[in-house]
Structure 1
Amino acid sequence: MNYFHRICSIIRPEQIISLTLSDRNDNIGLVEIFLKKFHLESLKRLQSLTLVNIDDNEQMIKILLSITNQLQILSIENTNEYYNDTVMDILMSIIGKEYLHTLSLNIERNRILNPLIIWPRECFLYEIKLVGLCHISLFRNILRYSFNLKIFQAYDIDLDDEWIDEDEDEEIEQSQMLPLSHTSNLISLSLVNARNEMDRLEWLIPQFTELKYFKYLNVYDFHIETIYENDYSLLDGECWEKILCNCNQFEFISTIHLNCDTWNIHHYLASFRTKFWQDKNWNIVLEQYNKTVLIYSLPYIHNTYYYDRTIFISIPHNPLLLNQSMENVTKLRINLTAVNNLGKQIVGHPRFSHVSHLILDGQWRTVELANSIASLVCLANIIALIRLERVPTFIFQSFIYDLTNLQSLTLTTFVLDSMNAAVFQYLQCLHSLNIVQLHDNYRHFVNVEPFCTMFPQIKHLDIPVDNLDSCQYVIDRLEEFLISIIFRFPNNDDEDEDEDDDDDNDNDEDDENDNHKTKSTELIEWAQNIRQYHQYRINDGDMYLWLQ
């Protein structure tokens, strides 16, 4: 905590323009301390405020009521919030203030995106970003009352309550789907987790007569069937031409699961090479996998990409465009079975040159895999690595040291065991290390003594342990660098128990509650005696500590 107080001592509140207040489990209690030192009213030049995981209603009310008329940008992120009506009423009143021009809300989706939300009758927002599915009635109100709105983003617009399927009477469909009003102001629309099919887009998009930018992202895991029906017309360039004629910029990704063996990728590819697409200078790529087609505009607009073995890929003829095609991808997930001997096949710069977060799936069998990975990404740019399956330890150790700027590492207890068996040691300072357990029914704790030898320099640690002695050992050994730590205590109750009658079950529940209370009491007593400067939180039986 002394570092935090030292930082606060050099802050000049009159100079702060942008502020983020975060009460996540990796920096617990710091918001309360900060607000005791600095009142928001004293931040006279504050223009942008971001609130992350502020759970307490009273604290949220104080923050919102302290917002000054200089604030232009407000962002709230808390997907697990339980804000009361008072918080929501104050938030809605702030949304209607004339000084606020940008709003981003990522909170409990049924609260803000449902049709019952009362949108302010006067709203001066220029830009709105909502995480979740926006109900059509709420969208109508936003358009009606947001006089200055130019930019809108949501997962998608939920038309279900008003939409009638095509097999119903067309006259009923037309009478149900009333047109939107006040659509002429909007110039940018982004649907970033879209589910709507082409017939709904054909109703929605043409109503925005001044729309210049449209983003449609429908990105799903290739190996998991989508819960929505596949619409092959999303692969038809002619259908898109009808609704995009006024747009200057179109960014597009869609994943279609194939259920037809006679599907012809070249037929659909040709529909995106007409004069319309050439005049717009919009380049579309199709990638076919076993039962999936990925279609996207260039450059690929999403920050995450899954690399797997393709059956077919349409490569742009322009070398410059090809080099820039994946410049937005910063997080790459690689199926290692798809990159065997790839290093011998690829010549030139890595295709994913801007990737900083790397996830490696599948079996790692040979030394050559490291060269194959290096042919796809620039290893010196990797700051975060996730590996959840077992590895050949000596090869993996060499690979990690090739990641010269590595800051974050996420491993499973399985990987850790194999590294421990090979007497692995990583002497560079890691910003964060996360040890995860993939299966709740397999309770595996970290042996902390060899662990602290393997990773002696860590700033932020998330680790499963079996008792408080292990917690104390980790802190004693790693305290020089540790800033925050999460101790997870997986439930180690016996799994195999005889079935009891209802009374016995009730008694078991009472005993379980008593055990949780006893455990929490033990954790509190232990945490209070660690050191003078620290903050702690107990959540679901786990311990969250902030030490510096």
Structure 2
Amino acid sequence: MSSASLYTLPIELVCHIFGNLDIQTILFSFRNVCKRFYTIVDTYNRYELDLSLVSKIEFHRICCIIHPENVISLILSNNDMTPGQICLFISLLNINQFVHLRALTLIEIKKFELNLLMEHININSLSELSINIRKHNFNSKGKSMIPVLSNIVMANLRKLDLSMWSKEINCIVWPKQCTLQYLTLGHYVTLKQVCEILHHLSHLRTLVLRNCIVNDTDASVMSFSHIQTSTHLTSLTFKNSRLQMNELELLLLLTPTLVHLQLTGTVTLSDSILDGSRWEEFIQRKLPSLKKFEFFFRAKTDINHNSIDIESWVSPFRTTFWLKHKSWFVTCNFIIKTGTIRLYSVPICDPCIIYESDFDKIECTTCMTNGNDALIMNNVRELDLDLTVMMASMTTQKITLRNHHLFLKLTDLTLTVNGEWPVGSIEYLSTLIDLTNLTTSGLYVNFGHYSVSNTINNIGCLLKQTYNVRSLTLSNSVYRSNLNGTVESFCSIIPHHVKYLEIYDMDLDDIKILLQQVKHLSSVTFVFLFDMPFSPNEIIGWLSQRIDFTYLLDNCFLSIWLGNNINVQPNCSLNAKASD
């Protein structure tokens, strides 16, 4: 019986394997194995091209190899990791040739770039489109966005994600026969705009709203007056929004078919949005199909609440409706040092939280975890933790280390250290978090402290354990503190798996040292709390003599996408002849 070989697999199976590989592996490795694989790679026509995390060197190589007509999905990004990528992409490839493109994502694109792209792309071939306008470009002058937005909503899109200011969304005239089924909008959408969307988009099934303002009563009453309850929406999400119960109820009256409702954002402590009894009555009467209700509400308070107060918010959620009929469980806690009340469903639905130890908060819950507290944190992806405060609490309260991870799926960790790096903190983190899943890390530390060398050593030890971290941010927890005199030590502990670095308040000489010594970086961003202490032309001119790069410049930051050394040109042939 002969054994199967990768070299003899049917083309269909090889193409199936491609679906589980990144573009670099396919083009730079798999393609070079043999002539047959070379041909398969060149003729494969289902490429999902994500360029948002590639190095500039890889970017040029991909653009040399890829056949635009074989791409069905494309992600381009101008964020700090790949500044200037979209313009460079437009200059290297003919957008008209992406004839089979079905999904397009544009991250932090400038308005003129969007206008240029939309002039040359067949938008009617797209089924999915995501556009995120760069924040610093929101109010820029230039060609109007209205024609572009009109063309977008008139297309046969199934899924649309728009992140732009509310006034631009106001310009959209939604067609009566709009085909959208999934819509995401961001950056301060008003409730009035939401009502207009529900009025026009009869095919809409999922609506996600970021930074929505649900507190304009007069506008709300006028907006609801002409809308019929003809929506077929099944999922509604408010992320990081300002919420009030009265206006929410008016809106939810228009969505009786909801199966999923998620609400995260800020509320006032006196608002009935925190009242479990009111929610129970409303859901039973107006949302009979609701199967999943998730929320995370934050409210500020000047009152020093006790456990009796916290239980009073939780008590209405202890009824048969919540615990038996729906199996929806709720937790409320009071964070003492920040004066914050948090009321949320379990598991936590907000992916970004600030971690507080049990000794820094008062908490009541309807959930019986039975040691499965990791399930409560199952959806958390980004965590902010004050390591100095946390380790001090552990010492004072004589807390022992955990015997299992609390955060199993965390990808983004931000740590604050004031003063000396806390003893035993890395061991503590390794028991609290599965560090192997981290891809992004932020460190806010005191570089003016006398024990700065010990701090740098501990950062190095932490980075060795977080071996999947690609993006690292380093800032000062003390005003005007910087890396003076320690930059070379810091350079020596940045591991090769870190490809993107964001660093605060460096002087010109230290920037040059960093760029000369840490050669494995794909991109770097220099951030300044105030205006740059030197002319950016100094560093741009210095770099221009040494390396190929693109950059993005503002008053307080400079982002650089690093390419080949100036005497090394991108290799478009990429390889010698493929072997048999």
Structure-2-length-normalised TM-score: 0.73
Are residue 314 (structure 1) and residue 357 (structure 2) matched?
A: no
The verdict on how the C-alpha distance between 1:397 and 1:384 changes in structure 2, with shifts beyond 3 A counting, is farther
Are residue 239 (structure 1) and residue 252 (structure 2) matched?
A: no
The verdict on how the C-alpha distance between 1:460 and 1:163 changes in structure 2, with shifts beyond 3 A counting, is same
- The equivalences for 1:341-490 within 5 A come to 341=395, 344-345=399-400, 347-361=402-416, 363=418, 366-390=422-446, 394=454, 397-398=457-458, 400-401=460-461, 404-406=464-466, 431-437=470-476, 448-455=487-494, 457=496, 459-463=499-503, 464-467=505-508, 470-479=510-519, 481-487=520-526
2:352 aligned partner, one-letter code: T
- The equivalences for 1:99-110 within 5 A come to 99-110=156-167
Are residue 185 (structure 1) and residue 232 (structure 2) matched?
A: yes
Give the structure 2 partner of residue 300 of structure 1: 348
The verdict on how the C-alpha distance between 1:539 and 1:407 changes in structure 2, with shifts beyond 3 A counting, is farther
The verdict on how the C-alpha distance between 1:54 and 1:80 changes in structure 2, with shifts beyond 3 A counting, is same
Contact 1:343–1:372 under 8 Å retained in 2: no
Are residue 273 (structure 1) and residue 312 (structure 2) matched?
A: no
Q: Which runs of 5+ in 2 are unaligned?
A: 1-55, 564-580
Q: Which runs of 5+ in 1 are unaligned?
A: 165-172, 220-227, 409-429, 494-515
Give the structure 1 partner of residue 38 of structure 2: none
Cα-Cα RMSD: 3.5
- Name the SS for the 2:297 alignment partner: strand
- The equivalences for 1:280-291 within 5 A come to 280-290=326-336, 291=339
The one of 139, 148, 151 equivalent to 1:90 is 148
- 1:239-270 CA distances to partner (integer Å, 9 max, x unpaired)? 11122232111011112334555763223322
Give the structure 1 partner of residue 294 of structure 2: 251
- The equivalences for 1:46-65 within 5 A come to 46-55=101-110, 57=112, 59-65=113-119
Give the structure 2 partner of residue 413 of structure 1: none
The verdict on how the C-alpha distance between 1:328 and 1:477 changes in structure 2, with shifts beyond 3 A counting, is same
- The equivalences for 1:25-64 within 5 A come to 25-55=80-110, 57=112, 59-64=113-118
- Name the SS for the 1:208 alignment partner: coil
The one of 187, 195, 202 equivalent to 1:147 is 202
Contact 2:103–2:127 under 8 Å retained in 1: yes
Contact 2:439–2:471 under 8 Å retained in 1: no
Give the structure 1 partner of residue 376 of structure 2: 325
Shift of 1:28: 2.9
Contact 2:149–2:172 under 8 Å retained in 1: no
Shift of 1:404: 4.0
1:131 aligned partner, one-letter code: G
Alignment partners' CA distance in 2, 1:271 and 1:54: 46
The verdict on how the C-alpha distance between 1:179 and 1:439 changes in structure 2, with shifts beyond 3 A counting, is farther
- 1:486-521 CA distances to partner (integer Å, 9 max, x unpaired)? 45676577xxxxxxxxxxxxxxxxxxxxxx9xx455
After superposing the two structures, state which structure 1 stretch, 78-87 or 352-361, moved more.
Answer: 78-87
Give the structure 1 partner of residue 188 of structure 2: 133
Alignment partners' CA distance in 2, 1:190 and 1:162: 20
- 1:460-487 CA distances to partner (integer Å, 9 max, x unpaired)? 33444433x55444433333x2322345
- Name the SS for the 1:65 alignment partner: helix
Alignment partners' CA distance in 1, 2:192 and 2:77: 32
Give the structure 2 partner of residue 511 of structure 1: none
Alignment partners' CA distance in 1, 2:300 and 2:191: 27
Shift of 1:161: 4.9
- Name the SS for the 1:17 alignment partner: strand
The verdict on how the C-alpha distance between 1:526 and 1:335 changes in structure 2, with shifts beyond 3 A counting, is closer
Alignment partners' CA distance in 2, 1:61 and 1:103: 17
Shift of 1:50: 0.9
- 1:58-109 CA distances to partner (integer Å, 9 max, x unpaired)? x322211233222111111123323645333122222121x20111111234
Aligned residues: 480
- Bigger relative contact order (CA 8 A; separation at least 6): 2
Structure-1-length-normalised TM-score: 0.76
Are residue 526 (structure 1) and residue 565 (structure 2) matched?
A: no
